[in-house]
Amino acid sequence: MKYLPFLIFSVLVFSCKNDTKTTSESKTEVPTETVQTTKDSLIYPEETHFKSIRQVTFGGDNAEAYWSFDDKQLVFQSNNKAWNVGCDQMFLMNADDTFKNSMPPMISTGKGRTTCAYFLPDNKHIIYASTHLKQEECPETPLRKNGKYIWPIYDSYDIFVADLEGNIVKQLTNEIGYDAEPTVSPKGDKIVFTSTRSGDLELYTMNIDGSDVKQITDELGYDGGAFFSPDGTKLIFRSSRPKTEQEIKEYKDLLAEGLVEPTEMELYICNADGSDLRQLTDLGNANWSPFFHPSGNKVLFSSNFEAERGFPFNLYLIDIDGKNLERVTHGETFDAFPVFSNDGKYLAFSSNRNNGGGRDTNLFIAEWQD
């Protein structure tokens, strides 16, 4: 699940920077060479995995962009006020779209809060979680409790199927409590999601039609943000597993209020049926938003483990055996939500780069090279 308050939290200190604009933005005609230089300047010198990069959005908080199975479109969520939304809603884009002076079509209801849309194999439908059945207005988003940073876990979330015109065609979950964070196997047969139906935040899988629900994890802690490997045989996810008596008490007390504290999370990997579960990272701080490299042998994820004050967040690669950790991005604020295209040629991710020192988190698409 994406929580945009997390993004805002990570860049508060940088909001005092001057909001300067380049002179090229005010020109009516820009030579091709200037456009190319501007595009490549979004890549920091150490970011050798990016052959080129393109900024897609230019305002608000935009994240969790997921590719259609044919790589022709992406669905993402945004709270951009210029697009007439009060909190996260789902938007559709073609793979080559840019929204500097235009608005993409919204394909959620515009009611409640939505999160985690993902294409189904037919490329004509998406799944996503929404609170609209319980509340038409945006639910409150608490950021802190007892001086600690928190995420809300809305029990009003359920998972729905919609077409690309925004029509909901099916409701996949109808349990009491939180059902959200769905993603689809590249094989096109299974959905993995997070639910509180057991009393804890655990991973579950189900068929594309919502049948054959199976619990995957069963240890205390927030298991979420899961993705299948390219061959559909493994799952990678984040977890906030509490260990001491005090940690366990604090976790349970917060969960009883529909809250979690996401500042200490590590990555775990298991088979798609939950077997062979093991911890992948032991880095400290928050390690999250993992996604498999197209080879299936590595995982790309976001982390602030090198940060002393909670930021910056950068992207890192690690082998699925926990070896060969490599830093991929080199920003000073926030890079997260990396998602490879199915052909492995492109990477969509969210970043605070090029936002004028403000709080906007925008969507970028980079041409990837190993």
What's 180's domain CATH number?
Answer: 2.120.10.30
355 part of a folded domain: no
d(CA 282, CA 43) in angstroms, rounded, equals 28
Task: Let me know if residue 162 belongs to a domain.
Answer: yes
Confidence of residue 1 (pLDDT cuts 50, 70, 90): low
Does a structural domain hold residue 56? no
**pLDDT grade for 141, boundaries at 50, 70 and 90:** confident
What whole-number distance in Å separates Cα of residue 20 and Cα of residue 3? 28
| Residue 180, SS3 per DSSP | strand
Q: How confident is the model at residue 4 (pLDDT cuts 50, 70, 90)?
A: very low
Evaluate whether 291 touches 272 at the Cβ level (below 8 Å). Answer: no
Residue 50: its pLDDT value, please? 98
pLDDT for 309: 82
Q: How confident is the model at residue 356 (pLDDT cuts 50, 70, 90)?
A: confident
For residue 59, is pLDDT > 90? yes
Looking at 75-79, 80-84, 140-144, which range is the least confident one?
Answer: 140-144
For residue 12, the 8-state DSSP code is G
Range of the domain at 326: 63-347
**CA end-to-end span of the chain, whole Å?**
27
**Closest by Cα among 92, 132, 130, 126 to 111:** 132
Token pair belonging to 331: 């920003």
* pLDDT higher at 302 or 32: 302
For residue 128, name the pLDDT band (cuts at 50, 70, 90): very high
Which amino acid would we find at residue 22? T
Assign 168 a pLDDT band (cuts: 50, 70, 90).
very high
Least trusted range by pLDDT, from 24-38, 65-79, 116-130, 279-293: 24-38
pLDDT 10s digits, 171-191: 999 999 999 999 999 999 999
Is 2 part of any domain? no
How confident is the model over 236-253, as a mean pLDDT?
96
The rounded distance, in Å, linking the Cα atoms of 370 and 188 is 26
pLDDT in tens, 296-353: 999 999 999 999 888 899 999 999 999 999 999 999 999 999 999 999 999 999 999 9
Omega cis (within 30) before 294: no
53 forms beta bridges with 366
In the three-class reduction of DSSP (H, G, I as helix; E, B as strand; rest coil), residue 105 is classed as coil
> Which pLDDT score, from 0 to 100, does residue 63 have?
97
Q: Is the model's pTM score more than 0.85?
A: yes
The C-alpha angle with vertex 238 and arms to 256 and 67, in degrees rounded to 5, equals: 115
Distance CA 357, CA 337 (A): 20
For the chain, what is the domain count?
A: 1
- Per-residue pLDDT averaged across 94-105, rounded? 97
109 lies in some domain = yes
The answer to whether 279 and 267 have CB atoms below 8 angstroms apart is yes
pLDDT at 40: 67
Residue 20 pLDDT exceeds 50:
no
What is the pLDDT, as a whole number, of residue 154? 96
The structure tokens listed for 43 are: 């890549």
Tell how strand 362-368 and strand 346-351 pair up.
antiparallel
13 within some domain: no
- Which residues make Cβ contacts (< 8 Å) with residue 260, sequence separation at least 6? 150, 151, 153, 201, 222, 240, 251, 254
Classify residue 105: in a domain, yes or no.
yes
| 80 domain residue, yes or no | yes
